[in-house]
């Protein structure tokens, strides 16, 4: 008992000295286990560079708090407190964490500590009020499980590149993964690029289906932002089609897989906006998974989302989009028709005989449609044609497409 009492006293004394900023010679020369535990990125309440609205939505009760990094790269303490304009309501409050001479404080030169974690711990332990209404740190809010520490992810060779950044082969917790990495330049130059990238990750983590690429997490503790996904062994569908000779039943099964994935998204009010063979992946069982939600938007009820995006996959987009009409799930159906045309054309470029994109727009507006590929059965081509009707209301939805393809696909 005496030994335990002495150890407790020694620990309390050490903690008090540490809070006062004291470091022994041994502690100054090397990192102790305790100091390593003081790293902010290891604290559950640190939410990294997630957007403010995504983080603070998890604050429920007065005194709930977390620490995050804002768009300017500054540490911010977010806490739920009494609304100053209505004492019966709660509102999120935000306090900059100031750094000066490697010391951190919530007010300049007041209760400075050598690390953010020690500062937060001091305020919580001492029950120091942040506002006159009694607001203080009560309950730390842990970041969601899908927020991954960047240091736990290793990246290797590049698998592909895009305007957002690149996709690399990687490793997470000993398992092979695909890692989508946001350009450092995008992070620095365009806050919207960061938001879009994070929104894509938050969208992906909500959905699970065998024909949708599996989301594992987002590394958002520091830059660069990385989306961690399952590694699909055989890569993109367009490359797979170009490099393999496939039988018609196999091609029909691929079309069915894509339709099933899109049916799932449709039922969850998601429009993909960039459906194409390049954005589908082939796993080791030759099963197709829909991927790349870079342009995805979530629809509320039947609300239609107007297109405002500059980088447009012209040859895959529906005719109404070129006239600034609403982009709906029926516009995805048009793109699906183009995608299954790719499947039967060994991933040839749609309208390859028309070199310029603006000429493609004119041709589609005047009624030109892709011709039936040599390998494509007539019934499958009929399905394609229904996807390309001028009036979106006359196109089948993905549930109907699944029904039609189920009748044509082989029995395995």
- Binding residues, by number, are 180
More confident residue, 187 or 96: 96
Q: Which of these ranges, 15-24, 380-389, 400-409, has the smallest mean pLDDT?
A: 15-24
For the residues 291-302, what does the mean pLDDT come to?
59
What is the pLDDT at residue 194? Answer: 74
CA angle 403, 252, 384 (to 5 degrees): 70
Burial 57-78 (b: 16+ CB within 10 A, else e): ebbeebbbbbbbbeeeeebbbb
In the numeric block, which tokens belong to residue 375? Answer: 């390998």
CATH topology of domain 41-136: SHC Adaptor Protein (3.30.505)
The model's pTM: 0.77
Class level of CATH domain 147-230 = alpha beta
Give the tens place of pLDDT for each residue, 56-67.
889 999 999 999
**Which of 285, 225, 208, 221 minimizes the C-alpha distance to 253?**
285
The CATH number given to 237-408 is: 1.10.510.10
What is the pLDDT at residue 306? 41
**Cβ-contact 235, 159 below 8 angstroms:** yes
pLDDT of residue 295: 55
Angle at 121 between CA 137 and CA 87, to 5 degrees: 10
More confident residue, 386 or 19: 386
Active site residue 274: yes
Residue 1 has pLDDT above 50, yes or no: no
Domain segments of the chain: what residues? 41-136, 147-230, 237-408
**What percent of the chain stands above pLDDT 70?**
83
Measured over all CA atoms, what is the biggest interatomic distance in the chain, rounded to whole angstroms? 92
* Residue with token string 């091609």: 251
Distance CA 404, CA 2 (A): 79
Is 25 a residue whose pLDDT tops 90? no
What's the chain's average pLDDT? Answer: 86
With 90 as the cut, is the pLDDT of residue 170 above it? yes
Beta carbons of 315 and 338 less than 8 angstroms apart: yes
pLDDT of residue 132: 86
In the predicted model, what is the mean pLDDT of residues 370-386?
Answer: 97
Q: Residue 333: what are its φ and ψ, rounded to 5°?
A: -60, -40
Q: What are the structure tokens assigned to 281, written together?
A: 């992946």
- Three-state SS for 311? coil
Helix (H, G, I), strand (E, B) or coil at 77: strand
With bands split at pLDDT 50, 70 and 90, how would you rate the model's confidence at 407? very high
The answer to whether residue 12 scores a pLDDT higher than 80 is no
In degrees and rounded to multiples of 5, residue 352 shows phi and psi of -65, -20
SS3 string, 155-203, reads EEEEEEECCCEEEEEEEECCEEEEEEEECHHHHHHCHHHHHHHHHHHHH
The pLDDT of residue 10: 61
Q: Which of 105, 117, 113 is nearest to 34 (CA)?
A: 117
Decide if pLDDT at 4 tops 60: no
Instruction: Give residue 133's pLDDT.
Output: 86
pLDDT at 154 over 70: yes
| Domains 147-230 and 237-408 alike in fold | no
**Better-scored residue on pLDDT, 331 or 28:** 331
Residue numbering of the annotated binding site for ATP: 180
211-223 pLDDT per residue, tens = 999 999 999 998 8
- Is-contact 257 287, C-beta < 8 A? yes
Q: Which of 274, 283, 292, 332 is catalytic?
A: 274
């Amino acid at each position: 008992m005496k030994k335990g009492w002495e150890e407790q006293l020694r620990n309390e004394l050490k903690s008090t000295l540490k809070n006062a900023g004291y470091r022994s010679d041994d502690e100054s020369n090397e990192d102790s286990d305790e100091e390593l535990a003081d790293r902010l990125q290891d604290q559950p309440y640190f939410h990294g560079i997630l957007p403010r609205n995504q983080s603070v939505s998890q604050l429920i009760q007065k005194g709930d708090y977390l620490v995050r990094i804002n768009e300017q790269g500054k540490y911010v303490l977010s806490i739920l407190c009494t609304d100053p304009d209505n004492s019966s309501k709660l509102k999120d409050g935000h306090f900059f964490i100031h750094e000066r001479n490697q010391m951190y404080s919530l007010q300049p030169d007041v209760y400075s500590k050598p690390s953010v974690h020690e500062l937060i711990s001091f305020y919580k332990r001492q029950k120091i009020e942040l506002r006159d209404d009694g607001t203080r740190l009560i309950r730390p809010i842990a970041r969601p499980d899908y927020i991954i520490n960047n240091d736990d992810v290793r990246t290797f060779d590049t698998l592909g590149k895009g305007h957002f950044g690149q996709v690399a082969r990687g490793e997470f917790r000993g398992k092979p993964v695909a890692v989508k990495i946001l350009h450092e330049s995008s992070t620095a130059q365009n806050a919207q690029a960061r938001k879009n990238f994070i929104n894509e990750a938050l969208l992906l983590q909500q959905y699970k289906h065998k024909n949708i690429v599996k989301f594992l997490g987002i590394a958002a503790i520091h830059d660069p932002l990385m989306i961690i996904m399952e590694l699909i062994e055989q890569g993109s569908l367009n490359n797979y089609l170009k490099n393999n000779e496939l039988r018609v039943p196999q091609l029909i099964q691929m079309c069915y897989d894509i339709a099933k994935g899109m049916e799932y998204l449709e039922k969850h009010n998601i429009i993909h906006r960039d459906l194409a063979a390049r954005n589908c992946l082939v796993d080791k069982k030759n099963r197709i998974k829909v991927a790349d939600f870079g342009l995805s938007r979530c629809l509320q009820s039947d609300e239609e989302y107007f297109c405002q995006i500059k980088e447009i996959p012209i040859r895959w987009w529906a005719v109404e989009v070129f006239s600034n009409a609403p982009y709906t799930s029926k516009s995805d159906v048009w793109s699906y028709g183009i995608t299954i045309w790719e499947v039967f054309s060994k991933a040839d470029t749609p309208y390859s005989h028309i070199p310029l994109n603006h000429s493609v727009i004119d041709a589609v507006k005047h009624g030109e449609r892709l011709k039936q590929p040599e390998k494509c059965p007539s019934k499958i081509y009929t399905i394609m044609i229904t996807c390309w009707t001028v009036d979106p209301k006359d196109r089948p939805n993905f549930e109907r497409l699944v029904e039609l393809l189920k009748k044509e696909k082989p029995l395995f």
